[in-house]
Structure 1
Amino acid sequence: MKYWNLKKINQSALDKTGIIPRSISKLFEKFKKELDPNAEVEALEEFKVARYQTVASVKYILFLFIMPVLMNQISKSFIFGPLVNYLWNRDEHIIFLNQSQEERAFAELQRFEEKLHFEILVGKISNPSSNLINYKMTEKALEIALDYANESSCAIKNILADFLSIAVFVSIIISSKRQFSILQSFINELIYGLSDTAKAFLIILFTDMFVGFHSPHGWEVIIELILRHLGLPESRDFIFVFISTFPVILDTIFKYWIFRYLNKISPSSVATYHNMNE
């Protein structure tokens, strides 16, 4: 019964506008409900359904995101971590996974060498000698090699743990279709129940953040972090191609959603969005 009521609420939020304006239809519906002798009982039942929907959705969201994160950390600490460390320590000559790591390591060592020569020129290092310089350079090179070896091993752990987290996330969604349907109904009610100004504000915030004129810099940082997290080469060509295509595709999908759904469900929100965006 509760599941049927949730579907009914979700469907009412997605109804298309007909010949009569939506605002007038809502006014007649309001009068009809107020004159209905069973209005109080129906209002109480709707409140119970809404409360059940909210509580179930919040619990499902927490479970949906906390479980993969827990599995990621537990598997990385107790399963993949020891296994990768054991296999990695068997071959101590492996330091870098890709050329990007080598370039960053060489640039870091070069900066240290330049800093060392600067300290010698300004007299910060007294009695400099070739042996002292070689010792400091060797010590720094070993430190950099250890750091990048740890970064490479962590990247392999991240790949394995992330695949496991994705598998857990997908399996939860597949095995809990009813909870996922309730969550969809809750999100629809939450989004379409907002005021026109709030909808327009969220649309502008989303578009400016992800597909705005200043978003390429943010996408560049995000992609670099993801590639470094997975131990993949930080190809500038790939990053630039992604930035030049993905935000455009995202913007097209978003505009299609506004034209296809939001414009029929809440045309006043679209008008408010255009007025605020001008």
Structure 2
Amino acid sequence: MKPRSSSRKTSFIPRSILRTIEGIKQAFDSQAESQLVEEFRAAQQRTLISIRFLLILIVVLVLVSQLSRHFVISPLVKALWNKEEVVSFLNSSQEERALAELKKFEQAIYFEFRLNKTPKLSTEFLQKKLKKKIISLAKKYKNESFDAVVNVFGDLLSAFTFVTIVVVSKQQLNIIKSLLDDIIYGLSDSAKAFLIILSTDLFVGFHSPYGWQIILEGALKRFGLPENKDFIFLFIATVPVIADTIFKYWIFRYLNHSSPSAVATYHNMNE
């Protein structure tokens, strides 16, 4: 089944006017009822195809990710990882976090001693506590490094699977795009403006740097990469600005022609 091409083209005439003209033409058409039923069935079929494809895509990606991690990647990495008897830090950020936790634990011991919650603070007692904590930290960061290596290979395999499915399923993707176009352009002007403002404030707005920082730190930690503050700040200073420029160009180039009333509503709500 081929998606409708009209929803993919950008016209210089506002879509609201085109829909009004099309509605008037259909009202005088003798076969309007049969065409309406046929369009409804086609829309229903597009929806079913899109939902089925998205469900299959999600299920396949989840299965590939989980099965490969538990039965292929993890056993291979564990077989190589066990050859190392010492703790392996993948980057300096892990060492800094481990040292900070150890210092915090030592300070907590002195604090509890000051509150008379621990027995007499001797060198032997302190060394025993610190040794126990160091063993716990070693196990923690060894598992974190192991999970990071597994995440790298697992996510690469998931990405390869996703790209393969996308390349093979071009027709289904066109149908999904057509359905999304119909849904988005079928929204009211207020709804379009609300979604635009919500998206821009989340990704390129005033508070977006904090969200980008949390996302980047989590991603770097997930893949065992050093949490370089300079890289994070440089990314935040450039990528949202580029995204904001592209978004404003999209409003000027496409949305102004397809839905000028939505652009006007967006400007009024944004002010």
Name the structure, 1 or 2, with higher relative contact order (CA <8 Å, separation 6+): 2
Q: 1:7 aligns with which of 4, 7, 10?
A: 4
Q: 1:78 aligns with which of 51, 71, 77?
A: 71
Instruction: Name the residue aligned to 1:267.
Output: 260
Q: Does 1:198 align with 2:195?
A: no
Kindly indicate whether the alpha-carbon contact (under 8 Å) linking 2:10 and 2:254 is maintained by their aligned counterparts in 1: no
Q: Distance in 1 between matches of 2:5 and 2:174?
A: 12
Q: Does 1:121 align with 2:118?
A: no
Q: Distance in 1 between matches of 2:15 and 2:175?
A: 26
Q: Alpha carbons of 1:174 and 1:135: their partners in 2 closer, same or farther (altered >3 Å)?
A: same
Q: Distance in 1 between matches of 2:268 and 2:137?
A: 55
Q: Does 1:112 align with 2:105?
A: yes
Q: CA deviation at 1:30?
A: 1.6
Q: Distance in 1 between matches of 2:17 and 2:171?
A: 34
User: 1:58-78 deviations in whole A, cap 9, x for unaligned?
Assistant: 111222233222211111111
Q: Alpha carbons of 1:9 and 1:105: their partners in 2 closer, same or farther (altered >3 Å)?
A: same
Q: Distance in 2 between matches of 1:218 and 1:22?
A: 35
Q: Distance in 2 between matches of 1:23 and 1:240?
A: 43
Q: 1:173 aligns with which of 161, 166, 174?
A: 166
Q: Does 1:149 align with 2:125?
A: no
Kindly indicate whether the alpha-carbon contact (under 8 Å) linking 2:213 and 2:236 is maintained by their aligned counterparts in 1: yes
Instruction: Name the residue aligned to 2:232.
Output: 239
Q: Alpha carbons of 1:253 and 1:95: their partners in 2 closer, same or farther (altered >3 Å)?
A: same
Instruction: Name the residue aligned to 2:11.
Output: 16
User: 1:105-162 deviations in whole A, cap 9, x for unaligned?
Assistant: 0000000000001111111002332111100000001100110000001100000000
Gaps of 5+ in 1: none
Q: Does 1:248 align with 2:241?
A: yes
Q: Distance in 2 between matches of 1:258 and 1:72?
A: 37
> Under a length normalisation based on structure 2, what TM-score does the superposition of the two structures give?
0.96
Q: Distance in 1 between matches of 2:156 and 2:21?
A: 53
Q: CA deviation at 1:9?
A: 4.6
Q: Alpha carbons of 1:37 and 1:89: their partners in 2 closer, same or farther (altered >3 Å)?
A: same
Q: Which moved further from structure 2: 250-259 or 141-150?
A: 250-259
Q: Distance in 1 between matches of 2:223 and 2:132?
A: 28
Q: Alpha carbons of 1:23 and 1:55: their partners in 2 closer, same or farther (altered >3 Å)?
A: closer
Q: Alpha carbons of 1:251 and 1:136: their partners in 2 closer, same or farther (altered >3 Å)?
A: same
| C-alpha RMSD of the superposition | 1.4
Q: Which moved further from structure 2: 63-72 or 111-120?
A: 63-72
Q: Distance in 2 between matches of 1:128 and 1:188?
A: 70
Q: CA deviation at 1:27?
A: 3.0
User: 1:3-53 deviations in whole A, cap 9, x for unaligned?
Assistant: 1xx224524xx44134xx654543332222111110000000000110011
User: 1:206-246 deviations in whole A, cap 9, x for unaligned?
Assistant: 00011001110110000000000000000000000000001
Amino acid in the other structure paired with 1:224: E
Aligned residues: 271
Q: Distance in 2 between matches of 1:28 and 1:49?
A: 21
Q: Distance in 1 between matches of 2:104 and 2:147?
A: 25
Q: Does 1:229 align with 2:226?
A: no
Q: Alpha carbons of 1:84 and 1:192: their partners in 2 closer, same or farther (altered >3 Å)?
A: same
User: 1:191-216 deviations in whole A, cap 9, x for unaligned?
Assistant: 11111110000000000011001110
Gaps of 5+ in 2: none
Q: CA deviation at 1:176?
A: 0.9
Amino acid in the other structure paired with 1:126: P
Instruction: Name the residue aligned to 1:182.
Output: 175
Amino acid in the other structure paired with 1:267: P
Q: Does 1:52 align with 2:45?
A: yes
SS at match of 2:39: helix
Instruction: Name the residue aligned to 1:90.
Output: 83
User: 1:240-263 deviations in whole A, cap 9, x for unaligned?
Assistant: 000000101111111111111111
